[in-house]
Structure formats: structure tokens, C-alpha cells
Structure 1
């Protein structure tokens, strides 16, 4: 008996109902489902009795690539319904697609993404014919809210049209050949009993053609190559991860709507979701009256009738809610008219509507579900260290180093519920305490399972993630990875990264990036008693190699008036500290900085920073008042560099600097002052509030300029003048 092929759209309630009815009617010997064939020996695990949604998480790693993918299931997924309905009638169940690690699936993070860009032309013509905005509304119009009569024929016509106008790549062709070999084997083994095949509708026409002929026996499940790692585990999933509005490539947005459609039909789903949106808006403090609710119901029914829908569809509900509840002008097109994630600036009421139709359901695995070793190791370790509950945790890095390393490993792995609120942000930050906020969350388990792809222990997994970050990173990013590796206690990787930095600084071309290297490495070298890196010869070698390269780069920077570059300034701060604390010869540093500070072709913030470095480190007297530029366009940027490098010197010897600065600002016209003001504000931001007050006191203590005695400044008048000038110039 030939097989019965059901082409479906993934996560479609209409297709799920069809699959259930066909299987219940035919009571087949085999139910074959598009899914990872490597899981056929573990179907009992898949059907343990989980709370959906769940997903099969698969990962693969070799020397060239790392792949992670998901095969998600919810209650209305046709693949899931086919499995459960098949089991109920005693059918033998098989997944028939290639394993997730196979090169034919290498470009997919989600096995069940519909990849509808392959047939955009056909979809566009169908949308135009049925007067709908996109493929989601088209699908609802043709299948979800339409009469179930003639559904198989409509699905066949739809997918035949899409397949007929699409080119099939080598990857899809390989998958279809493999799936067809399973179909031939099942038909041969079933004899005169039926076989039902449930796959994405795009594949159905090819499978019908390829499945004809003699069977060569059951196909082998491909094994991953030697020396590679490939595993699959079940993970809890959530509707938020399943929703196309959050970027999921499922082909079906608004999973809560389709869940209700599956449970109670389109009329009840429409009514329930209108009320859910109104309830959600009221909880957010948005006033929604009973009249608004009635209007939304009436408008949804009217739109459905106008559009030829037998009952309100998803877009009818959303359009009705927008029409009834939003009175503001919308700056963006309503998001359900397109595909993809919400854009920044979306109207808050629209955000709440989309969230209500997305839902907040989260799956839960059966307690007997196997998990990767990492889950057990982390659970046990957190409990033994007293880090498995909710609350704030303060760690003394000298005493609680192991607890800190465990939390940092979980942070690097992006496990939710471990938020570091403060602590050392770089090696140069001499802070010896950390504060963490721990939160028990249902998202922890799925992401721990997924993190198990990187290793069986937190240290191994964190090392793998950091190694991936380090691959191809420039030196500044490499230094940040090094700091994370030290915080995580991943000693072997930290040693490797230190050696790579020692080589990389010799060819670094970005001054700011090299400055990040100096800041991190110097801090680890100076304050490494917290992390067992103090006095490291390898770190000292990085410092010794980086300083000459930084001097060469700094002297070669050219640039005229422009906003000050904070990265350059911070690089000079790191150079100052390295020269001061790393026992390096200061002579070449001071000589280079004197040249930079006197070079009119260098950017003003770099000139100011170079001057500040000399002032901070030189035993000889300097006169900063003579060096301040008199040009409004450059004075603020120059001061930013000076203040960042020589803040203490400015505070203890303010009279000369403030005198010149006061005279400079007082002599500016309105336009010149407006030009200089942003840079001046940025420059003085290098002083904490207390020090700014000290500077203000010193400035106010100065004698008033001739002709202004007894005329107190009026801050309100000054602010009003500035505002009027800004408005006149079109700047606000």
C-alpha cells in the first residue's frame, strides 16, 4: 500500500488536526515524521509526559565549526500531534530527517524554520489575490479560520504551487533523498498496512516522487566524524522563544493565539485574546473602558466580514484592538503587517498586544528526563556553596575566591539568575569585593542544558566559550577575554591568552585597543593577589612589549577639531599607570609625550593627555596655563585629556589653570561659548561631584574681572540665554 503524505506548516493547528484525524482513521503501521533520526532510539524519552513547549537541542563541534540547533514542539505542532496520535493507535514511530549536525542542516539554527524566502514570488501573488499583508495572514485566511472541508486538497494545491516555483538546493535535495529512503523501507516493512508521512509541505511533492521504488532496507543513521562532539538533549522551551516577533524563524507568530485556537477554536480564541489584551493594558495602567472592549469585539467581527473571513483571524483581532484602543498617530507600520522582531519606538499599546498574543507559557521536562553532566554538577555545586537561592550575595575576593569563580563561570555561560552588580571591571580596578543578585528562574534549566554543549563542568564549559570569543579577536577584545578567564579561574586558557597578547601587541594598530590591553594586564600584574597573577613574568612581558608600540601609535595619530575620543584618553591613562607602576624606564615615554603635546597636528585630547602625563610623572615644573589652547573648538577636548591624566595635579595647583580657563570662557562670544560648551562639560565630567565643588569654590574665590564687581551671576538668566541661542540656531 503506498504511503499517505501530509505536507504541513510547522506549528499550524489546522495541520495538527488534519494529522490527528488521518492517523486515527488509517491506524497506520508506521508514522514517519520530519525530525532528527538520531533520536529514534530515545523516542520514549521524548514522550515521557512533558509540559510543552519543549525542544530537542542539538550541538556539534569540530575544529572548523560549532553548531547549535533546536527542533521545538508545542501542543499544536503537527509533528508532535503525529507522534502522540501514532502512539495512541499503536503505530511504530520514526524520525526520518538527517541528524542536526549534518552539513545539510549546517545553516539552520531551527530545523522547523520554513525558509519562506525560497518562494516569495508565489506568496506575493497569493497575498495580492486574497488582499492580505503577508504569508501569516494568508495562511490564516486559507487554513486556520477557514472551513475544515477540503483542507487536504487546499494544502496540496498550496504546497504544489510553492514547490513548483522554487529552486531546491543541494542541502534540501540531500535531506529529501534521505527521508525518501525511510519511506520506502517503512512501506516495504508495513506490507498491506498504511504508512503516514508528516513533513513540511515544501518537501511533500518531492517525497511522493522519490519514495516510489524498491527499498534498500532501513537507512543507517549517519554518525558524526571521529574527533568531533555531537549530542542532543531535551530542553524546556517557551512561547517567547517560539514567537516570530522575537526573531524565531518558525513561520507562525503569536503562539498564545494559536494555542487558544488549538484548544477552543477561532471564535473563542478571538474573544479570549481581546479580553487578555485589555486586561494586560489595564495592569500596565492604560485606561481601557468597557466601551472600548465592546468596540474591539465589534470591530474584529466587522473586519473579518469585510475581508471575507468566516470568523475573526489573528490580524483582524490585532487591527481591531489597534483601531479601538490607540488614538495617537502611529509613526510605524503595525508590526503584524510584516515579519520579524518589533522595532524600537513601537507604540507601547502595540507592544502589549503583541506580548499578549505571544503568551508566557514555559515548558517543563518530566523529572526522569536525562540531562547533560553540567546540569548535575552546577546544581550540586551551587547548593554546597549556598548560592542556589534568591537574594543578594557579597563576596570578599580574598576569602571567597572559589564562590566568585563559580558565579563568573555561570555569567560567562549566560545562565540567567546570576547578576553581578558591582566588582572589579578590569585588572586595573583595585576592588576586592563583589555584589551579586541571585534569582531562581525557570529559564536556568534550559540554558544550563544548552550550555552543556560546551563542557561537562562549569570550568570546562566557560573555557570553551571564552576560547570561542578569543578566536579571531583583536587585541583589545583578547584582553577582555583574558580578564574573564582570570575571573573564572581558567588558568590554562589564561596562560594561552597571555602568550597570544604578547604576540598580538607587536602588530596592534588601534591605540584605544592597545590601551585596553595595558589596563587589563597592568591591573592583573599589580593586583593579582586576588587572582594569583601578581608579579607574573608573562604579564610583565606583555607590558614591556605594549608600551613602545603604544608610543609609536600615539605619535602617529593625526586629527583636527572633533569630539574627544575617550578610548585614546583611556589609553594614555593606562600608559601613565604602566610607566608609574611597572618599573619601566620613563624617559622614552616622557620624551614622546612632550613631542605629542607640542604637535599641532595631533588631536587636541591627545595633546592634553600627553601634557597631563608629563605633568603627572615629571619631577620638573610645568606650566599648564601656557599650554591651554585659546581656540574654543579645541579647548574643551584638550582639557578632557589633561583632566583625565593629571586630575590630582589640577586640584592641587588649580590657580594657573582656572585663571586661564576663566579668562578664556569670559572672553568668548555667545556662538563661541555654545561651540565650546559640550566639550567643556565632558572635560569636567572627569572630576567626581566633590572635586567639581572644590573647583567651583576656587573659581568663585577669584577676584571678579574689572567692571563686573558686585554683579552676581544670575543662573536662570544664563540658562535662558543659552536656551534662546540654541533655539535660534536650531540646535534643540
Structure 2
């Protein structure tokens, strides 16, 4: 057995391990088989002692984790992850399978969760702390560097994973314990008092077990860093003094599923390993691990339609073995197998290699926990719903297409929306690639271990998903101040089918709407409210009350919008343009429901005129006309109003051109003209194609821009660039081609406007006008070129420059 020193804990077999190390796991199993202890002590929270028997349950499949959380504050939690190749898991399974008592001896979670000076959830994950920061993170790095390795993982593989089996099964633990003792003599405890407290508690528990079972009959499985502390002579009084007065909370503990990805270093957990999938393979492969690994890789690449044959596998194995021999390694490790896969199976490309790393080296294995594991009532109800709806939690990203006309899909949608309302982000809505009808929904699902904590937190709202979501929505409504947030909550209640919460939300919505006089707030609130009508219609929900509020809100927007759009600064005008767009879209949807019914009963929206809501739309057209013609209204809003009227067929093309001509006349401020253009053809509204196909409008813009003074041009250029840079490249180039040709010198002008179209050929004189500026930009001040030559060679550049400037 390992050397234990002269302390009261003498007589215990100390098995220092690397957390999540497959070599340590095999060594622990061999040591336990050889010694056959009467009790096994494991580094972990003692609150888990009643749960240890579940490790033998057929429904328990690692990776799993012990989850502890504060009863009154479930969000304050910590995890202790365990994989199939974790030495602690191997020790637990060995003991439970033979009826040997298992006890956890680390500091209780009740104490560690009570600490507020350090974050929870990482140190409890099985980290092996040490003295200085670099050593605390990975003490093996110091040992690897001492041995002449620049990679701790490669050193660990050579010394432990590739170590030949047989001989003294306790020798590796003795050697690793001596190495850690030398490290602690050099680095000390690093001033981290938490390690001292934890180790004092471990010593007390070890002493008690030795007294109970006898010397030589107790095996302790712990992080190798703690072995020197357990060997050290220390009195019971000294250890108890370190533990005296520790803060304490009431904590509960259970098993939860874990993932290989969450075992990786990238997940942020201190005891993470870079390649859990590779380590799992090393632990489970009975023989020829390299050959079996290459076969796995070949299978994955074939599934991705890559041509990988048996000859590729054989050649990759040979190359990996050759690289190991050249590098002086006992066996090929992950570095050699990766290099061989890249060269042979991936043809030197890192793209398929990244897939191998993601799917195999790290992996997306999700563990399972039996139903008999303790859980909050909300978790049990969620589990029942998942099984009833055949929605199994998975660690992989999964896209789920739902047809709300089908009962099962509608129920799945309802469950996912309720969970989102509770803050359990198992699924996130995504854009549907097929139909855009309201009966279609697309979700991206991915179950993360942390969601178990979110479920525990949400358990304070109720014992079922429906009850908890209803309580949470009602409480959120009462505590919400912003009107738009209340309407958004109403929409979420409809999506989640919470009929008991909706009356509360509607009452708060009515109160907030009556008190809020800000047109911007009302405009922000209206779209969500109208979408609620739309979803209510799809889901068969009676939304007559929502229709009344929506119409009242729309009327208040109509009345207040013209005044709110006057005297605005640049940023405020852009924000108001967004509100106008949102209201326009909402009125369109509101009109559909007014004509066909606002709720499941099919009745008309209250307040609609004869024939449905055409009155609402007519009111909106009149508001837009007023905005389009008032000089006091911000230019970007005026331009946007004209565009909306034009697209809706409520404004003739000639009238739109007339209004543009007025806005861009010489009597108007250039900045206001640029803002008008931004509103009319800016953003992703298809304004570029409008200018391409209607040369009258493009001619107006061109004539206005040509007449802007040099000083004013500098001021309006940023706005114009923002407007036209949003167009697709092909649209910009087409516009540049038209502008480069210049106005047509022959032919009748456009009817009623006196604006000619654009010439069919390049205007060399017009193109040459930009030559000095282009030469200055290119730094060609010392060269010369004739005007015709410049016009010819710069023809393509002019189009690009004109498009870029626009």
C-alpha cells in the first residue's frame, strides 16, 4: 500500500488519481481487485452517500454528475461530473457491485455552497488544485516539463496510459504520490485556504473509517494532489479547528445527465480534459486501441460521404505507429493518430479533421439517469412530458420541424414555449426553411447539463410545467413596467397556451396602455399584440379581448404619430422610421383578422367598420399621406411613408415621383433630401431594385445629387453611403452602370416629369470627370493619361465607384 505517514489516518490505502484519467481508472480497478478493501472512500460531497447505490441501476449510464443546489436558491449549485473512465466512478461501481460500503469524504456541499467568495460549479467538478495558479490548473504540467515534455497530455499518455500492465499494482500510486509531495514541498498550498479546509475534512473522515473498519481495510480514491496532505501528520484538534465556524446552507443533491462535451476543457470546468471521447475509447478498447480508433474514424467519414477504404485504415495505422517510433513514444497517442488521419483519410485537409475532433475526440455522448433518482416535482413532470411527446433530450444540435395542425406537434410546441417562459432554454425558435405559414415552427434543440439547474430554479413556480409557466407569467406581468414587454408577454402566453395567465396579462396590458402616452412605446407594443391575434387564430384560442386592445392601441398610434414625427433628430428619426414599419406590418395583419375574425369564434374584431377592418387600413393610409406631405416631419419618415403608400398601391407612380421631386428640389436642405432618400429606398426594403426598374426615380436622385454643393455633399455622403451600401453587389453595379452612362441626350423625356432616361452608351466626358479623384486615391499623381484613354480604361472602375458612392 502507499506510504501514509504517521498521522491518525495511517492504515488507509491512498490511491491518488488524475480525475477523468482512463489510466488511473484501470489502475484503481486493479488495485481494488488486489487489495479487496472493506470500505471505499471517494473524493466527493458526503450528501451523495444515499445516492451511491443508484450507480448500479441499469438506467444509469455515464457520463453523469452529482448536482447539489441550495434548497431556497436552486441557481446556487455545483456539479461533480463522472465519466465511465473516471477513477471515482470505477471505484464506486466496484464497491457497489460487491456490497462494499462507499462514502464520500470531501467537504460537504452544505459548506461549499455557502461560500460567497468563490464561484460554485467549477471547483466542485473534481479540480486538482495546487500552489501557484499555473500548477493549480494542471499540476501535471510541472511533472511533464521536468520530464522534458512540452505537452502534459503526451507525458501522461506515455507514463500512464501506455504503461504495460502487470507487476506491482500499487507502484504507480506510490510514484505519483511521491511526485505530488515534491510539488507541494516546492509550491506549498498557494495561499488557497479552501484546500486546507477540504483536506482537514478528508483526514477526519479517513480516520473515522480506519477506526471503524481497521487498518489496511480502507481504500481512499482522491486527486493525487491531496495525497501528501492525507499522509501528513496532523492532530484531530487542528483539523477540527480549521472546520470550526464554516458557513452552512441547506442543500439537496441528485444525479443528472452529463455530456462528454462538458468534460472538455472548452466547457470551462476546472477538471476538464481536452479529449473525453479519446479517453473513453482508450478505457473501453480491450486491445489494439489504434486499430479500433482508425476504424471509428473511417466509419464517421464514410457517413459523411467521404471515400475511405480499408486500405486507408491500414495505412493510417502504419503511419501512426511509424510516427510514434520516430518520436520515441511507446505507443501511438492522440497526436500521432490525428496526424495520420489528416494525412491519409483527410488528404491533408483540416476540414474533415475538425469533424473527427468534434464527433469522436470530444464527442456528444449524453448520459442517462434512472427514474428512481431524486428530482424536483417539476423535473418529473417534464420527464413525463418528454416521453409522452417523444422528445428525448440529446446533446447534439437537432432541428425540429413542427406542423401545428398535428396534435403531437402542437403539444411539442406548447411544451417548448412554456419552458422558454420558465427560462429553460432547451429549444430556440429558428427560421423555417420551407413554408412560412403560421402553422409551421422550426426549433433547434440541444440539452445542456446546466438546464437541470434551470428546471430546479423554475420549480419554485409550481410542480408541473403548465402550473409553473402560468405562475411565472402572471408574476412577470405584474412586475413588468414597459408596455412592449407586456404585449410580448401576452404573445408568449398564447404560444404557450396559458389560459389562466392571459386574463392577468390582459388586465395589466389595459392598465399600462391607458397610462402610456408615448407614441414610440405604443408603436413598439402593437406588433406583438397583433402577432398574438395571429397565433391565437392558428391555435384556436379566443382572442377577442386582444383584438379590442389592439384596435384601441392602433387608433392611439394613428392620432399621435404625425405630431411625434416632427422636430426629430437624426437618431430619433431613424428609430421612428422603424416604428412606422412595425405599425405598417401590424396594420396589415390586423386587417386580415378584422376581415375574417379575431378569435376562434370567427367574429369580426370589435370596432371594425362594415366589411371588416378596411376602416383601420384606410385610417392608416390617411396617416401615411399626412406624414408624406408635412414638411415638419423628419425626411426619413416622409420618404418611408411615400414608399409604403407606393408599394401598397395607394399612391400612383407619378405622384410618388412628384413627392420625390419636391423633397429633392433646390429649395430643400441637402441633409433632409438625403434623409428622404434613405427613407424611400434605404435598408433592405428593395429600394435598389426600384431604382433599377424605374429610371425616373433614379434620374431624380442623380439630378439632385449632381446639383448638391461641394460643402453639402461632404455632409450628405455618409448618409447616402449607408443607404446604398445595403444593396446587393449586383444591384449596386447595375445602378453604377446606369449612372455612368449619364442622362440620355435624345428622345422624349419621361411623361409629365421632364426627366430623360439614361443613355445606352458610356459618356466619356462624364467618366473622365472622376479621373483626378481616382488618380489621387491610387497615388498616381506623377503619371498622366489622356482623357479618352482614361475614360476607356476607367469604364469598369467608374461603375464600381459610382455603386460604392451610392
Q: Residue 519 of structure 1: which of 524, 527, 530 is its match?
A: 527
Does residue 99 of structure 1 match 2:99? no
Kept in 1, the 8 Å contact 2:323–2:336? The answer is yes
Q: Structure 1: any 5+ residue segments left out of the alignment? A: 331-345, 686-700, 713-719
Kept in 2, the 8 Å contact 1:260–1:269? The answer is yes
Give the superposition deviation at 1:197. Answer: 1.8
Structure 1 residues 710 and 245: alpha-carbon distance in aligned structure 2, compared to 1, 3 A threshold: closer
Kept in 2, the 8 Å contact 1:397–1:434? The answer is no
Residue 226 of structure 2: aligned partner: 203
- Aligned counterparts of 2:428 and 2:379: Cα–Cα separation in 1: 15
Give the superposition deviation at 1:723. Answer: 8.6
Does residue 17 of structure 1 match 2:26? yes
Residue 570 of structure 2: aligned partner: 558
- From the CA coordinates, give the structure whose radius of gyration is larger: 2
Does residue 178 of structure 1 match 2:191? no
Residue 693 of structure 1: aligned partner: none
- Aligned counterparts of 1:626 and 1:730: Cα–Cα separation in 2: 24
Residue 613 of structure 2: aligned partner: none
Q: Residue 641 of structure 1: which of 679, 682, 700 is its match?
A: 679
- Aligned counterparts of 1:289 and 1:400: Cα–Cα separation in 2: 41
Give the superposition deviation at 1:93. Answer: 0.8
Residue 3 of structure 1: aligned partner: 12
- Aligned counterparts of 1:554 and 1:37: Cα–Cα separation in 2: 68
Residue 121 of structure 2: aligned partner: 108
Structure 1 range deviating more: 283-292 or 379-388: 379-388
Aligned positions of 1:195-344 closer than 5 A: 195-209=218-232, 212-213=235-236, 225=249, 231-244=252-265, 250-264=271-285, 268-288=288-308, 292-327=312-347
Give the superposition deviation at 1:348. Answer: 2.9
Structure 1 residues 367 and 158: alpha-carbon distance in aligned structure 2, compared to 1, 3 A threshold: same
Structure 1 residues 628 and 198: alpha-carbon distance in aligned structure 2, compared to 1, 3 A threshold: farther
Structure 1 range deviating more: 394-403 or 34-43: 394-403
Q: Residue 349 of structure 1: which of 346, 353, 361 is its match?
A: 353
Give the superposition deviation at 1:12. Answer: 0.7
Kept in 2, the 8 Å contact 1:33–1:95? The answer is yes
Structure 1 residues 364 and 385: alpha-carbon distance in aligned structure 2, compared to 1, 3 A threshold: closer
Residue 409 of structure 1: aligned partner: 418
Structure 1 residues 668 and 178: alpha-carbon distance in aligned structure 2, compared to 1, 3 A threshold: same
Structure 1 residues 660 and 13: alpha-carbon distance in aligned structure 2, compared to 1, 3 A threshold: closer
Structure 1 residues 189 and 710: alpha-carbon distance in aligned structure 2, compared to 1, 3 A threshold: closer
Local SS of the residue matching 1:52: coil
Residue 72 of structure 1: aligned partner: 81
Structure 1 residues 391 and 363: alpha-carbon distance in aligned structure 2, compared to 1, 3 A threshold: closer
Local SS of the residue matching 1:534: helix
Structure 1 residues 276 and 64: alpha-carbon distance in aligned structure 2, compared to 1, 3 A threshold: closer
Relative to the length of structure 2, the TM-score reads 0.63
Kept in 2, the 8 Å contact 1:514–1:571? The answer is no
Kept in 2, the 8 Å contact 1:502–1:545? The answer is no
Local SS of the residue matching 1:56: strand
Local SS of the residue matching 1:257: helix
Local SS of the residue matching 2:292: helix
- Aligned counterparts of 1:294 and 1:398: Cα–Cα separation in 2: 52
Structure 1 residues 437 and 11: alpha-carbon distance in aligned structure 2, compared to 1, 3 A threshold: same
Aligned positions of 1:557-596 closer than 5 A: 557-558=569-570, 569-574=577-582
Residue 26 of structure 1: aligned partner: 35
Give the superposition deviation at 1:192. Answer: 3.5
Residue 333 of structure 1: aligned partner: none
Local SS of the residue matching 2:331: coil
String of CA shifts for 1:324-362, please: whole Å, max 9, x gaps.
Answer: 44555x7xxxxxxxxxxxxxxx62333224422334544
Residue 659 of structure 1: aligned partner: 696
Aligned positions of 1:352-363 closer than 5 A: 352-359=356-363, 361-363=365-367
Give the superposition deviation at 1:383. Answer: 7.8
- Aligned counterparts of 2:391 and 2:448: Cα–Cα separation in 1: 13
Local SS of the residue matching 2:274: coil
Relative to the length of structure 1, the TM-score reads 0.69
- Aligned counterparts of 2:307 and 2:475: Cα–Cα separation in 1: 49
Residue 608 of structure 1: aligned partner: 639
Residue 698 of structure 1: aligned partner: none
Structure 1 residues 648 and 709: alpha-carbon distance in aligned structure 2, compared to 1, 3 A threshold: closer
Q: Residue 136 of structure 1: which of 141, 153, 162 is its match?
A: 153
Residue 434 of structure 1: aligned partner: 439
Kept in 1, the 8 Å contact 2:13–2:216? The answer is no
Structure 1 residues 457 and 175: alpha-carbon distance in aligned structure 2, compared to 1, 3 A threshold: farther
Structure 1 residues 365 and 381: alpha-carbon distance in aligned structure 2, compared to 1, 3 A threshold: closer
Kept in 2, the 8 Å contact 1:480–1:520? The answer is yes
Residue 90 of structure 2: aligned partner: 81
Q: Residue 483 of structure 1: which of 472, 479, 491 is its match?
A: 491
Residue 593 of structure 2: aligned partner: none
Q: Residue 395 of structure 1: which of 397, 400, 404 is its match?
A: 404
Residue 624 of structure 1: aligned partner: 659
Kept in 2, the 8 Å contact 1:303–1:316? The answer is yes
Give the superposition deviation at 1:33. Answer: 0.9
Local SS of the residue matching 1:641: helix
Structure 1 residues 50 and 578: alpha-carbon distance in aligned structure 2, compared to 1, 3 A threshold: closer
- Aligned counterparts of 1:660 and 1:152: Cα–Cα separation in 2: 83
Give the superposition deviation at 1:300. Answer: 1.8
Residue 771 of structure 2: aligned partner: none
Does residue 38 of structure 1 match 2:47? yes
- Aligned counterparts of 2:391 and 2:361: Cα–Cα separation in 1: 36
Structure 1 residues 283 and 659: alpha-carbon distance in aligned structure 2, compared to 1, 3 A threshold: same
- Aligned counterparts of 1:251 and 1:665: Cα–Cα separation in 2: 62
Local SS of the residue matching 2:546: coil
String of CA shifts for 1:522-549, please: whole Å, max 9, x gaps.
Answer: 6548986746451577997999799989
Structure 1 residues 241 and 190: alpha-carbon distance in aligned structure 2, compared to 1, 3 A threshold: same
Give the superposition deviation at 1:79. Answer: 0.6
- Aligned counterparts of 1:510 and 1:143: Cα–Cα separation in 2: 70
String of CA shifts for 1:484-523, please: whole Å, max 9, x gaps.
Answer: 3442245559947995998899999997x98654432465
Kept in 2, the 8 Å contact 1:34–1:96? The answer is yes
Give the superposition deviation at 1:658. Answer: 6.5
Residue 377 of structure 1: aligned partner: 381
Give the superposition deviation at 1:159. Answer: 3.3
Does residue 151 of structure 1 match 2:164? no
Structure 1 range deviating more: 476-485 or 382-391: 382-391
Kept in 2, the 8 Å contact 1:637–1:679? The answer is no
Give the superposition deviation at 1:188. Answer: 2.9
- Aligned counterparts of 1:275 and 1:526: Cα–Cα separation in 2: 53
Give the superposition deviation at 1:52. Answer: 2.7
Structure 1 residues 30 and 421: alpha-carbon distance in aligned structure 2, compared to 1, 3 A threshold: same
- Aligned counterparts of 1:469 and 1:145: Cα–Cα separation in 2: 57
String of CA shifts for 1:597-618, please: whole Å, max 9, x gaps.
Answer: 757xx7x755634666899999
Structure 1 residues 527 and 18: alpha-carbon distance in aligned structure 2, compared to 1, 3 A threshold: closer
Local SS of the residue matching 2:355: helix
Q: How many residues align?
A: 669
Structure 1 residues 19 and 571: alpha-carbon distance in aligned structure 2, compared to 1, 3 A threshold: same
